[in-house]
Amino acid sequence: MHVSSVTGSQNSPMQTPQLTPIQSFEAGQKACRQGKYADAENYFKEAEKYFSPRFEYASYNYKCTIQLSHCLFVLNKTEEALDFYKKSLSTYEKFYLKSTGHIELDSQMMLTLRSIWASLHDQNKFREIVTVMELLHQTLQQNDCGLRITTLDWLGCALEFLGDFQKALETHQQCATLYPEDFRGEEGLGRCCHNLHNYSDAIDHYYRAINIATKNCCALSHHPIQPMAEHELQEPEVVKEIRRAILHSKQMQTSPPSPPAPPVFCTIV
């Protein structure tokens, strides 16, 4: 015997309350956190149908489509994932990129991009990572927002995983030229030069990266409002990693192995 959750009448099937679009979106987020990507896909798609044509829901539409693309990448539905990823970038560019409203969305994009990178990396789909980063770079290249340097850095890293070290070098050079105060451009150049067996140039770029990273750390230690604590002034882990990379390049420079050693790659954290 069944009791309706709506009417309370006997002999009628249990009825599940219909979710609102926002509830569907939140259910999709929860399912995604739980690793239930197929369920998340269904929830996000239901919400997206409602959000997509409505200007007042542009923020929800952006968040929904970019998280949906992540689910689809995980589910190995690459073509459909790219379609929704393009939709999310279109909404971002149209409504938020040139306004102060993009700050919160930038944070959402970074979280999702890390997840997309991780899922595609696990599937060895580095060409797809390059496509994702190139699409974002094309969207951002006319706007000097905080995401642009990360996009260039990750695009260069993805090209490295593809083995296209020359193109990766050009991308990291662009990063270093546009953002000389950030160590990632020089570090990427060092890694590419190493993989192209230009060990002397690699060492030079690595040392520049250390100088930039150290200066940034020193500047933080003298911040007038929130200076770094004494225990935080120890050499950052990234600098230690670059020093290890310098040692590796010096070893390769003096005693190149035969056959050549495998390439070194970046780590996205």
Check whether the bond before 260 is cis (ω within 30° of 0). Answer: no
Domains detected in the chain: 165-269 (1.25.40)
What percent helix, strand, coil does the chain show, rounded to 5?
Answer: 70, 0, 30
CB atoms within 10 A of CB 163: 12
Q: Structure tokens of 211?
A: 């100088």
Looking at the DSSP assignment, which residues form a beta bridge with residue 29? Answer: none
| Residues 168/201, Cβ–Cβ less than 8 Å | no
Q: Is the pTM of this model over 0.95?
A: no
- Residue 184 is predicted with a pLDDT of 93
- 154-159: long-range contacts, CB 8 A cutoff, minimum separation 24: 154/113, 154/117, 154/129, 154/268, 155/130, 156/188, 156/192, 157/188, 157/265, 157/266, 157/268, 158/126, 158/129, 158/130, 158/133, 159/130
Instruction: For residue 221, give the 3-state DSSP assignment.
Output: helix
Q: What is the pLDDT along the chain (269 residues), one digit of tens a residue?
A: 333 333 444 444 444 468 999 999 999 999 999 999 999 999 999 999 999 999 889 989 999 999 999 999 999 999 999 999 999 999 888 877 666 555 566 777 888 888 999 999 889 899 999 999 999 888 887 665 667 888 899 999 999 999 999 999 999 999 999 999 999 999 999 999 999 999 999 999 999 999 999 887 654 444 344 444 544 456 788 899 999 999 999 999 898 776 666 677 776 55
> To which residue do tokens 């995980």 refer?
74
In the numeric block, which tokens belong to residue 65? Answer: 């489509």
